[in-house]
Amino acid sequence: MGGSINVNHLMFLAQGALWTVGLSLIALIGGGIAGFIIALCRIAPNRAVRVVSAGYIQLIQGTPLLVIMFLTYFGLPAIGIPISPLAAASASLTVYVSAYLGEIWRGCIESVPRPQWEAAEGLALSRTQRMSKVILPQAVRIATPPTVGFMVQIIKNTSLASVVGFVELARSGQIINNSLFEPFLIYAIIAAVYFALCYPISRLSRRLEQRTGFVRPQLVEA
């Protein structure tokens, strides 16, 4: 017990930070793919598909991520599906992120002006062609700032994976603190690392938000 913080501790923290970044990327990619499908389901022509996807979003958004983590990590083995901490954390975050991104992106798709749909329809494009060639390219631009902003939420929420024993940044801080017992110093370092990860991203998000409309590089406003 005791002693002062040394290079090995810092290396351990750095490894934890890497896992935080890794888990965030898994959540973003997994949640992004699932969220995209959910966004499309939310505006599907079929009513049943719309209702089911809306129900999914309501259910997940109305459940704490912590509970989703417990459910996957402790609940699944209890019904005979063993799961590793990494798999449990990845699955939980994917489910959680998909519900939020699905709803954010549905809004972005629907905020492409209605006349754009009509113009595409008037040109005899099929629904799939209208979506992929006219609506989605425009929706992606609208969706970029809020999606980047949501990345910050994902990074911070990965800290909850520590409760299922996954050693990411927060958990590695806990472990070091258990041997050094310097909570103020160690958690301050942890906070600083989270901030260093999140701050550039939220700055980027704000920058993207200020850039409205279809401004191309050669036309960037002063």
Residues forming the site for another protein (CB under 8 A): 115-116, 118-126, 129, 133-134, 137-138, 141, 213-214, 216, 219
Across 124-141, b (16+ Cβ under 10 Å) vs e yields ebeeeebbeebbbebbeb
Q: Does residue 161 contact residue 145 with C-beta atoms inside 8 Å? A: no
The C-alpha atoms of residue 20 and residue 151 are separated, in whole angstroms, by 12
State the minimum distance, in angstroms, from the CB of residue 59 to another protein.
Answer: 34
For 33, what's the count of Cα atoms within 13 Å in the CB-facing half-sphere?
A: 7
Nearer to another protein, 4 or 210 (CB): 210
State the minimum distance, in angstroms, from the CB of residue 32 to another protein.
Answer: 21
Nearer to another protein, 47 or 216 (CB): 216
State the minimum distance, in angstroms, from the CB of residue 204 to another protein.
Answer: 21
State the minimum distance, in angstroms, from the CB of residue 117 to another protein.
Answer: 9
The DSSP code sequence of 87-125 is HHHHHHHHHHHHHHHHHHHHHHHHTS-HHHHHHHHHTT-
Q: Does residue 71 contact residue 82 with C-beta atoms inside 8 Å? A: no
State the minimum distance, in angstroms, from the CB of residue 149 to another protein.
Answer: 22
The C-alpha atoms of residue 128 and residue 130 are separated, in whole angstroms, by 5
State the minimum distance, in angstroms, from the CB of residue 131 to another protein.
Answer: 12
Nearer to another protein, 139 or 190 (CB): 139
Nearer to another protein, 2 or 122 (CB): 122
Tokens 């994917």 locate to 94
The C-alpha atoms of residue 20 and residue 197 are separated, in whole angstroms, by 10
Nearer to another protein, 62 or 122 (CB): 122
Nearer to another protein, 71 or 125 (CB): 125
